[in-house]
Amino acid sequence: MAQPLPSRKQAVDLAHGPRKVGSRIRRAPPPKPEKPLSKAELREREAWMMSIGMLAVAVALMVILLAVTRWGGWSPTQYRVEINEQV
């Protein structure tokens, strides 16, 4: 039968009561403080946020417009486009 591997740990003596050692529970490290943004970085971040917001509003308005036109029974396939080339 195999014998257990030798251990470097010492046996715990339970006769003397609990040890008064600090907690060994691992905790998440404290959050890193955020570095302050420069005015240029802040301006660039605001420009990106504004662009994304404008794009989101435009897409939402387009979806609403298409839903209303479909509900109203209108479709671009109802119209025929003719192009006359006159030279």
Q: Which tokens belong to 61?
A: 């308005």
pTM over 0.75: no
Q: How many residues does the chain have?
A: 87
Q: Is 30's pLDDT higher than 80?
A: yes
Query: Which pLDDT score is estimated for 47?
Result: 98
pLDDT at 22: 65
On whether the CB atoms of residues 41 and 49 are closer than 8 A, the answer is: no
Alpha carbon distance 72, 61 (integer Å): 16
Tokens of 60: 């939402």
- Given a cut of 80, is residue 16 above it in pLDDT? no
Task: Tell how far CA 76 is from the center of its chain.
Answer: 38
Confidence of residue 7 (pLDDT cuts 50, 70, 90): confident
| Domain ranges, ordered by start, for the chain | 37-73
pLDDT tier at 18, thresholds 50, 70, 90: low
